[in-house]
């Protein structure tokens, strides 16, 4: 009789299929690896590096003035704002102006229980409420040149009065905007003159060396300017004298609205922008900023032409008093820059002409001789020629003139030779 063989339990095969969630775990592990790679790519160090653009931006922000960065897409305007916010320890709030409605800045009407008695309040958006609660922050209005004219109009109170609907932003909030030129903006608009005149306009460019080192893992670290508490009062006095002196001599510069649409959307002089300029000069003076930084700020507030006139006036304010130079010609400290030295020597000759005297005439010649010894001799040619015509009858020729004669003669011969060479090249 056949016997049955007892059955044995089956065992899992070595080639059995993997659990159903294995693909998901594998994908998750790959994302973890990808995250590690991204972390390595983002890992970078910093190094101190002077940055004129960033220093100008920081000074304008410190002066509580709205700043508008103009630059082509992708050159690091947003990255600069992120770095600035971190350096100033301010929370950064970014608002893309072009994707908002006018009501997002003017406020949304909220009907209450009794609008006839209480009116209809204009409620601010959530980002403005967060800034008000924080009490401080950096508000970044991006893509400003792609905002429609109606949105630009709604931004007027925000930029100037710091009001969003019924809410006033606290004093600790600073405003910076960014825009692309109309030629490179997506559906770009020119800025309206009222909005443009509320900003300090800074042209933002990239430095290829910074980009190369940054992509290699070392980005620059912002070196923020520091205001000297001992120079505050003098800085304000200096700024007021500079701006008021220029506008007193050039009243046509107080308000000059450009005729072209593009010019109206940039920096131009008005009482408002001159007030901003005065603040910028004071802050740059108190911080000991370079002329390059001051030039960016001043031209960004009132435009290139008026800004350059103000800068020239600032140079003249630093010139030594001609009476001090005449009082001690041997120990006089003349400016190093050629144009300033020329202006100082011309001022000395003008002072002698205004009050001619033998001792002053002799002192002026001694000063010209010192100028030849310490600088370019061609700078004394015009002042020496003019001073010679001021000689009065009976005035003896000082011995210093002999020391100048050779230098003046040599400079004139060099000028004549250069003129003949230029004429010869033009004839060929």
State whether 208 and 95 are in the same domain: yes
Identify which of 100, 188, 199 has the alpha carbon closest to the alpha carbon of residue 151: 100
Give the pLDDT of the chain (428 residues) as one tens digit per residue. Answer: 444 445 555 555 544 555 666 666 676 788 889 989 999 988 888 888 788 888 899 999 999 999 999 988 888 888 888 888 888 889 999 999 888 888 888 877 776 666 666 667 778 888 999 999 999 999 999 988 888 888 888 899 899 889 888 889 999 999 999 998 866 555 667 889 999 999 999 999 888 888 888 888 888 776 677 899 999 999 999 999 999 989 988 899 999 999 888 889 999 999 999 999 999 999 999 999 999 999 999 999 999 999 999 998 888 877 888 888 999 888 888 888 888 888 888 889 999 999 998 999 889 988 988 888 888 878 888 888 888 888 888 888 777 776 676 655 544 554 454 555 555 555 55
Residue 3 lies in a domain: no
Q: DSSP readout, 285-340?
A: HHHT--HHHHHHHHHHHH-HHHHHHHHHHHHHHTSPPHHHHHH-STT----SSHHH
State whether 213 and 244 are in the same domain: no
State whether 76 and 217 are in the same domain: yes
Residue that is written with structure tokens 């950096």 in the block: 138
Domain harbouring 79, CATH code: 3.40.50.300
Runs of H (alpha helix) within 63-141: 77-88, 103-106, 115-118, 126-134
**Domain stops at, among 221, 241, 270:** 221
State whether 172 and 59 are in the same domain: yes
State whether 240 and 327 are in the same domain: no
Percent of the chain as helix, strand, coil, to the nearest 5: 55, 10, 30
CA separation for the pair 149, 102 (Å, rounded): 9
Identify which of 316, 394, 391 has the alpha carbon closest to the alpha carbon of residue 360: 391
Reading the block at residue 357, the tokens are 């005297």
Identify which of 406, 399, 401, 398 has the alpha carbon closest to the alpha carbon of residue 384: 401
Residue 291 lies in a domain: yes
Query: Based on the number of CB atoms within 10 Å of its own CB, is 73 exposed (0-12), middle (13-18) or buried (19 or more)?
Result: exposed
Residue 284 lies in a domain: yes
Q: Say what the pLDDT of residue 425 is.
A: 57
State whether 301 and 363 are in the same domain: no
Mark 227-263 as b/e (b = at least 16 C-beta within 10 Å).
beeeeeeebbebbeebbeebbeeeeebeeeebeeeeb
Residue 417 lies in a domain: yes
Residue 17 lies in a domain: no
State whether 253 and 373 are in the same domain: no
What is the model's pTM?
0.73
CA separation for the pair 141, 68 (Å, rounded): 9
**Domain stops at, among 255, 283, 317:** 317
Residue 191 lies in a domain: yes
State whether 152 and 86 are in the same domain: yes
CA separation for the pair 347, 103 (Å, rounded): 59
**Domain stops at, among 317, 332, 363:** 317
Main-chain phi, psi angles of 89, to 5 degrees: 55, 50
State whether 240 and 140 are in the same domain: no
State whether 243 and 129 are in the same domain: no
Residue 8 lies in a domain: no
Residue that is written with structure tokens 């912002």 in the block: 222
State whether 173 and 82 are in the same domain: yes
Reading the block at residue 373, the tokens are 């010894």
CA separation for the pair 178, 159 (Å, rounded): 13
Q: Say what the pLDDT of residue 410 is.
A: 47
Residue 399 lies in a domain: yes
Main-chain phi, psi angles of 127, to 5 degrees: -65, -35
How far from each other are the two terminal CA atoms of the chain, in whole angstroms? 131
Q: Say what the pLDDT of residue 402 is.
A: 67
State whether 307 and 352 are in the same domain: no
Q: Say what the pLDDT of residue 92 is.
A: 93
Q: Say what the pLDDT of residue 1 is.
A: 46
* Number of domains the chain contains: 3
For residue 327, give its domain range: 322-421
Residue that is written with structure tokens 């006033």 in the block: 168
């Amino acid at each position: 009789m056949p016997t049955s063989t007892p059955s044995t339990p089956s065992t899992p095969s070595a080639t059995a299929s993997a659990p159903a969630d294995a693909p998901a775990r594998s994908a998750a592990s790959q994302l973890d690896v990808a995250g590690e790679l991204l972390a390595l790519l983002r890992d970078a160090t910093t190094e101190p590096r002077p940055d004129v653009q960033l220093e100008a931006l920081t000074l304008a922000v410190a002066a509580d003035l709205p700043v508008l960065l103009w630059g082509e897409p992708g050159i690091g305007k947003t990255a600069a704002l992120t770095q600035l916010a971190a350096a100033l320890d301010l929370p950064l709030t970014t608002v893309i102006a072009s994707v908002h409605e006018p009501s997002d800045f003017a406020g949304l009407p909220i009907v209450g229980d009794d609008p006839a008695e209480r009116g209809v309040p204009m409620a601010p958006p959530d980002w403005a409420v967060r800034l008000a609660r924080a009490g401080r922050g950096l508000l970044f209005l991006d893509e400003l040149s792609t905002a429609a004219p109606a949105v630009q109009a709604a931004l007027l109170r925000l930029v100037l009065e710091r009001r969003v609907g019924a809410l006033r932003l606290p004093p600790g909030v600073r405003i910076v905007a960014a825009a692309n030129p109309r030629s490179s903006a997506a559906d770009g608009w020119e800025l309206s003159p009222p909005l443009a005149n509320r900003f300090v306009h800074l042209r933002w460019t990239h430095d290829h060396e910074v980009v190369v080192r940054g992509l290699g893992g070392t980005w620059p670290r912002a070196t923020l300017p520091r205001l000297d508490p001992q120079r505050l009062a003098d800085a304000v006095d200096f700024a007021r004298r500079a701006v008021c002196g220029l506008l007193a001599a050039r009243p046509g510069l107080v308000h000059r609205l450009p005729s072209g649409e593009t010019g109206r959307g940039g920096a131009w002089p008005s009482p408002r922008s001159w007030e901003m300029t005065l603040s910028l000069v004071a802050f740059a003076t108190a911080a000991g900023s370079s002329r390059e930084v001051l030039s960016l700020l001043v031209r960004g507030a009132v435009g290139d032409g008026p800004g350059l006139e103000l800068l020239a006036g600032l140079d003249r304010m630093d010139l030594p008093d001609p009476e001090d130079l005449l009082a001690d010609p041997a120990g006089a400290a003349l400016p190093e820059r050629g144009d300033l030295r020329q202006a100082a020597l011309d001022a000395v000759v003008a002072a002698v002409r205004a009050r001619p005297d033998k001792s002053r005439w002799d002192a002026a010649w001694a000063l010209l001789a010192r100028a030849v010894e310490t600088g370019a001799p061609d700078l004394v040619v015009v002042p020496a020629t003019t001073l010679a015509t001021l000689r009065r009858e009976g005035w003896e020729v000082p011995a210093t003139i002999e020391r100048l004669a050779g230098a003046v003669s040599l400079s004139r011969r060099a000028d004549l030779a250069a003129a003949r060479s230029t004429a010869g090249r033009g004839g060929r």
